[in-house]
Amino acid sequence: MPVMQSEPINNLKNNKIMNILETKNLHKIYDESTVPVHAVNGIDLTIKKGEFTAIVGPSGSGKTTLLNMIGGLDKPTQGEILVNGVKINDLSPRKLTDFRLKNIGFVFQAYNLIPVLTAKENVEFIMHLQGRPKQERDQRTINLLKAVGLGERIDARPNKLSGGQQQRVAVSRAIASKPQFVLADEPTANLDSKSTENLLEMMEQLNREEEITFIFSTHDQRVVKKARRVITVDDGKIVSDETKNP
Amino acid sequence: MLAAITIGLFAGVFSTGFYKGMADMRVESGIKTEVSHIQIHETDYTLNNEIKLFMPKTNEMVDNINTFPGVEGASRRIKAECFFKTAHGTRGVKIIGVEPDREKKVTDIYEFITEGDYLDGDHRIPRILVGQSLGDKLKLKIGSKIPVDLVDIHGNFSSRLYKVGGFFKTTNTGFDERNVFVTFDDLKKQLDLPDDAAHEIAIYLNKNTELDTTYHKIEKAYPNLDVQTWRDISKELALVNDSMDEYMYIFVIIIMLALCFGIINTMLMVVMERTKELGMLMAIGMHRIRVFFMIILESVFLSLSGGIMGIAIGYAVIRYFEKTPIKLTIFQGFEQYGYASEVYTNLPFSTLISMAVLVFVLGIISAIYPAWKAIRLNASDAIRTD
């Protein structure tokens, strides 16, 4: 698979902070007024730059809630989330939105591409939000789509792409904004084996060659097998944290 | 939704043009056929149309009035209430004595002759012009002799035989059934009015826009007489004229309200159907204010594209029916109320511009609630919506 040869994706090149993500005593309690549900119950977690991490656990274990909080989509009830040293749970909604735009990439289970835009436009869109010049947007979009093997399909709309191809576009969109890390929530759940394998290979390659940090929330054993670090969550707590030898 | 907006706006534009045309025609025909622009009477004559309240030296007055700028023509009239006795019934009608040549410059009754002749020429038995519908009801024919009974200015009963010389049919059936025409001299003779006396001088102007100016000049010239404009004489016509704008506004407001609810509904559906997409946009870093304006913009495009299309089609149809009348002959009731059975549409271009602006504004207003709903979405929940 061709890998993008353009500029380095992440913007931590000259950054001394190696822990790009840190959570301290993270709690999330839903329905506090009625029956409290401790979705996340005191998680301390550190992610270093370039990690390829899978957060696993049974349904309802709190992995998606954890991912949402890490991504700045949900506020923790208690605790801290530091991204690249910035405490994001103290940011105003407006600043948090800006922060997500500049620092976090998202890959969703259902791809969530904009159906009326082409693959190129979908990838370019996030850079447009960032206010990047057109020339840079065009160049980077084409490089990214080539890197994920969709150089020939840049003008195709999502409904003309297979599930695997759509998810590749989604990955390209996630890394187009040059984020600190990419959060992928069940990225392979809707894909067949072949597409899953291709997607994982592609992401692993991006991780290895471009030092893009990936954090997955998954049930999928194929993802777990590829991950170099596997964090198991149950009842809102980390029950194991294994780092595989390279 | 685009089609609904287009059809709605087309219907609005067309209906407004149709009713405006109808009202304008009613006012125009009312002035041209029935009342003229200005009338002069002896003071208090209009209170109960007392035949003794006539104006003297009216011929000189008419000649003088004809010299006023903006006056197309002036004509004297004698008016009285009379009884029509025929084999098929008796009717009380208003008999109007007119000077045919002068009257042609003031009213257009002569253009509505359906059978026979206007009041031209001298005849041994005086001629009477009868409305077609009255003639039909009384089974009159050209040449039918009708005794006309009235009370003269001395209070004496007077009966005179007239011969039907023609039938007329205006756009107002009520007018046709209530009025008959004879010559000025014939009625003057029957009422025994003095020479040169008349009850009314009717004045027709070149343009209705000159009404106020000319009215003030005539009023100044004849301060002892009762000078009235068509607005004072025919309250019904004035009401039609004045209320049409209000009806138009009410009509447009109803259409715009329907449009407004349509847009709100559509945009709410858009937000519902695209919850996932909106959630994704907010998650990846699109500000809520941008999402808000995205929904507003979408609504504006939707309403403007449909609205302009509807207005354009409506305008084209109105332009077509400005020259080709819409025939409403199956609705005979219209003519009973003085409305023509053939309607030429009319709608000022400025009204269309106002409508387009209204559509634009409504597009914005209607999208505010859906847009507000959109930005209230929780990104993480919205992403997982099925």
Whether residue B118 is contained in a domain is answered as: yes
**Total tally of structural domains belonging to chain A:** 1
pLDDT score of B339: 66
As a whole number, the mean pLDDT across chain B is: 88
The CA distances from residue B129 to A12, B113, B120, B179, in Å, are 103, 9, 11, 9
Confidence grade of residue B63 (pLDDT, cut at 50, 70, 90)? very high
The CA distances from residue B279 to A90, A177, B39, B178, in Å, are 22, 18, 73, 73
Q: Which domain holds residue B118?
A: 44-223
Is the per-residue pLDDT at B340 higher than 80? Answer: no
Residue of A nearest to B385 (CA): A110
pLDDT tens by residue, A80-94: 999 988 999 889 999
pLDDT score of A14: 44
Look at residues B200, B223, B246 and tell me which one is the last residue of a structural domain: B223
Q: Which domain holds residue A152?
A: 19-243
- What gap in Å lies between CA B301 and CA B2, rounded to an integer? 10
Whether residue B39 is contained in a domain is answered as: no
- What gap in Å lies between CA B348 and CA B318, rounded to an integer? 10
A93 reaches B (C-beta below 8 A): yes
Q: Where residue A223 sits, what CATH number does that domain have? A: 3.40.50.300
- What gap in Å lies between CA B355 and CA B13, rounded to an integer? 8
- What gap in Å lies between CA B207 and CA B343, rounded to an integer? 21
Cα B19 to chain centroid distance, Å, stands at: 8
**Total tally of structural domains belonging to chain B:** 2
Determine the average pLDDT of the residues in B196-201: 93
pLDDT score of B337: 62
- What gap in Å lies between CA A167 and CA A157, rounded to an integer? 13
Indicate the residue of B287, B288, B383 with minimum beta-carbon distance to A112: B383
Taking each helix axis as running N to C, give the angle between helix B288-323 and helix B235-273, from 0 to 180 degrees, rounded to the nearest 10: 140
pLDDT tens by residue, A56-81: 999 889 999 999 999 999 999 999 99
pLDDT tens by residue, A162-201: 998 999 999 999 999 889 899 999 888 888 888 888 888 8
Q: Do B277 and A112 touch (CB under 8 A)?
A: yes
A114 reaches B (C-beta below 8 A): yes
- What gap in Å lies between CA B50 and CA B164, rounded to an integer? 26
pLDDT score of A9: 38
Determine the average pLDDT of the residues in A6-12: 40
Element (H, E) at A19: strand A19-30
Q: Do A129 and B276 touch (CB under 8 A)?
A: no
CB A111 within 8 A of CB A158: yes
pLDDT tens by residue, B273-324: 999 999 999 999 999 999 999 999 999 998 889 889 999 999 999 999 988 8
CA atoms within 13 A on the CB side of B1: 22
Say yes or no: ipTM exceeds 0.90. Answer: no
pTM reported for the whole predicted model: 0.72
Same domain for B177 and B98? yes
Determine the average pLDDT of the residues in B167-175: 87
Is the per-residue pLDDT at A124 higher than 90? Answer: yes
Look at residues B223, B253, B281 and tell me which one is the last residue of a structural domain: B223
pLDDT score of B49: 85
For testing contact with chain A, the best of B284, B289, B292 (most A CBs within 10 A) = B284
pLDDT score of A4: 41
Whether residue A8 is contained in a domain is answered as: no
- Window 269-298 of B: residues touching A by CB (8 A cutoff) are 276-277, 279-280, 282-288, 290
pLDDT tens by residue, A111-123: 899 999 999 999 9
Is the per-residue pLDDT at A12 higher than 50? Answer: no
pLDDT score of A37: 86
Tokens of A41: 């119950």
Same domain for B313 and B352? yes
